[in-house]
A and B are shown apart, each in its own frame.
Chain A
Amino acid sequence: GQQLNQSPQSMFIQEGEDVSMNCTSSSIFNTWLWYKQDPGEGPVLLIALYKAGELTSNGRLTAQFGITRKDSFLNISASIPSDVGIYFCAGPTNSNSGYALNFGKGTSLLVTP
Chain B
Amino acid sequence: SAVISQKPSRDICQRGTSLTIQCQVDSQVTMMFWYRQQPGQSLTLIATANQGSEATYESGFVIDKFPISRPNLTFSTLTVSNMSPEDSSIYLCSVVQGNFISGANVLTFGAGSRLTVL
**Interface contact A92-B104, CB-CB below 8 Å:** yes
A43-B97 Cα distance, complex, nearest whole Å: 13
Least Cβ–Cβ distance between B12 and chain A, in angstroms: 16
**Interface contact B104-A42, CB-CB below 8 Å:** no
**Interface contact A105-B56, CB-CB below 8 Å:** no
Check A30/B104 contact, CB under 8 A, given A43-B109, A106-B42.
Answer: yes
Q: Could you say which interface size class chain B belongs to?
A: 20 to 34
Is A55 an interface position by the 8 A CB rule?
A: no
Check A98/B102 contact, CB under 8 A, given A104-B42, A105-B41.
Answer: yes
Among residues 71 to 100 in chain A, which have CB atoms less than 8 Å away from a CB atom of chain B? Answer: 88, 90-93, 95-100
**Interface contact B42-A101, CB-CB below 8 Å:** no
**Interface contact A31-B104, CB-CB below 8 Å:** yes
Check A96/B42 contact, CB under 8 A, given A30-B104, A41-B112.
Answer: no
Number of interface residues of A (CB under 8 A): 30
Residues of B within 8 A of A43 (CB): 43, 92, 109
**Interface contact A40-B56, CB-CB below 8 Å:** no
Q: Which residue of B lies closest to A89 (CB)?
A: B42
Check A96/B58 contact, CB under 8 A, given A42-B112, A43-B43, A102-B45.
Answer: yes
Check A99/B31 contact, CB under 8 A, given A44-B109, A91-B104.
Answer: yes
Among residues 84 to 99 in chain B, which have CB atoms less than 8 Å away from a CB atom of chain A? Answer: 92, 94, 96-97
Is A45 an interface position by the 8 A CB rule?
A: yes
**Residue from the list B56, B97, B114 in contact with A97, Cβ < 8 A:** B56
A59-B86 Cα distance, complex, nearest whole Å: 39
Is B59 an interface position by the 8 A CB rule?
A: yes
Residues of A within 8 A of B102 (CB): 98-99
Residues of A within 8 A of B114 (CB): 40
Most A CB within 10 A of own CB, among B43, B47, B94: B43
**Interface contact B45-A97, CB-CB below 8 Å:** yes
Excluding A40-B114, A97-B45, A99-B102, 8 further A-B contacts by CB distance (< 8 Å) are A31-B103, A41-B111, A42-B109, A42-B111, A96-B48, A96-B58, A103-B44, A106-B42
